[in-house]
Amino acid sequence: MIHLSQAAISEILRLKAKRNNPELLFRLGIQPSACLSLSYVMTFDMVVHSNDELFSCSGIQVVIDAHSLSAVTGLTLDYSEDLMGGGFRFHNPNAIRSCGCGNAFSLGEPTP
């Protein structure tokens, strides 16, 4: 499905710990974006809907909705810090273009 780097795992666990609820699930999805076609969305959630996929990735329970699944399959999520601060980095083999911010992307056009 997706891969989480050790740095991403550490940051997700740190953010989850701040919420004081060990039952929270890490939700990853996509939404329409003004920059390019789509952008990534990450939240913590307690609910798994009937159209969600739930799987364990390096010990983290990850929820992805059916609409987002094909766009993020194969994604590697990393976390890094630099002089400007820290942030998640998305490496998506399905993206044909990515925005400079790293959070927006476009998928390939369907072939007729």
Q: What is the pLDDT of residue 109?
A: 54
- E strands of 1-112, at which residues? 3-4, 25-32, 38-45, 52-57, 60-65, 76-82, 85-91, 95-98, 104-107
Q: Is position 47 within any domain?
A: yes
Q: Is 76 helix (H, G, I), strand (E, B) or coil?
A: strand
Q: Is position 30 within any domain?
A: yes
- The share of the chain scoring above pLDDT 90, in percent, equals 56
Q: Stretch 68-92: mean pLDDT, rounded?
A: 90
Q: Domain of residue 94: give its range.
A: 3-107
pLDDT category at 38 given cuts 50, 70, 90 is confident
CATH number, residue 9: 2.60.300.12
Higher pLDDT pick, 86 / 43 = 43
C-alpha closest to that of 45 among 60, 67, 24: 24
**pLDDT higher than 50, residue 59:** yes
pLDDT category at 111 given cuts 50, 70, 90 is very low
Q: Is 90 helix (H, G, I), strand (E, B) or coil?
A: strand
Q: Is position 46 within any domain?
A: yes
- pTM of the full structure: 0.84
As for how many domains the chain has, the answer is: 1
